Amino acid sequence: MVSITARAGGRSSTIQAKRPLFSELWKYYPVKMPASDVYSMVGGQAIALYQENPTGYANACALRLSRSFNYGGMPIKQSTRGYKVRGADHKPYLLRVREMITFVEQNLGNADLSFKPQNNQDLSSQLKGKKGIIVFKVSGWGDASGHVTLWNGNDCGDSCYFIHNTPSIKTTDILFWNLR
């Protein structure tokens, strides 16, 4: 839980910001769905961009998590900074991993757990039984800076990147926010 302290006129007050429930986010997460189907599900500007350039918009992880947030209790606001598109539901959807990470940090604070894997180390056992939002920061991908998804205690909602088969691609950081 994130603590927020406000101070004015020599007084201060602290509140606990509530996090969305994992079960609500998971309910609206397009689990293991192909990117093309995620773009179709969101519709609006998202599907139009995908149809115009499917290769350029092949990565749908931020779009998936945006949908989950929009319907699961932590909606993305129009004022949220970043590259957004409007879905058929007129809700804003983030499309870039970096901006999704910023959105998560601004709304949930710093990650509860963070890891720096060494030598392609699989750290999935460190998260067994926990549920939440997971970020993989990855170097070596030409089209993305990482991956954002939900972790259900055993597996990612779409793809996990604890390890890589290509030596030039490495997960440099793993960030995790616990959700109940």
Q: Which domain holds residue 165?
A: 18-178
Q: Is residue 10 part of a domain?
A: no
Instruction: Name, in order, each residue with C-beta under 8 angstroms of 10's C-beta and a sequence gap of 6 or more.
Output: none
pLDDT of residue 107: 95
User: Residues 37, 138, 177, 83: is their CA dihedral positive or negative?
Assistant: negative
pLDDT band of 1, cuts 50, 70, 90: very low
pTM of the model: 0.89
Longest dimension (CA), the chain: 57
Model confidence pLDDT, tens digit, residues 65-111: 999 999 999 999 999 999 999 999 999 999 999 999 999 999 999 99
Is residue 140 a part of any domain in this protein?
Answer: yes
For the chain, the domain total comes to: 1
| Number of other residues whose CB lies within 10 A of the CB of residue 117 | 17
Give tens-digit pLDDT for 114-166: 999 998 899 999 999 999 999 999 999 988 899 999 999 999 999 999 999 99
Within a domain: 91: yes
90 located within any domain: yes
Which residues have CB under 8 Å from 176's CB, separation 6+? 111, 112, 113, 114, 115, 127, 130, 132, 133, 134, 135, 151
- Domain with residue 113: its CATH number is 3.90.1720.70
> Which is it for the CA torsion 67, 73, 78, 83, positive or negative?
negative
Cβ atoms < 10 Å from Cβ of 122: 11
* Residue 4: inside a domain: no
Q: Give 5's strand partners.
A: 14
Quick one: pLDDT band at residue 170, thresholds 50, 70, 90?
Answer: very high
| Inside any domain, residue 107 | yes
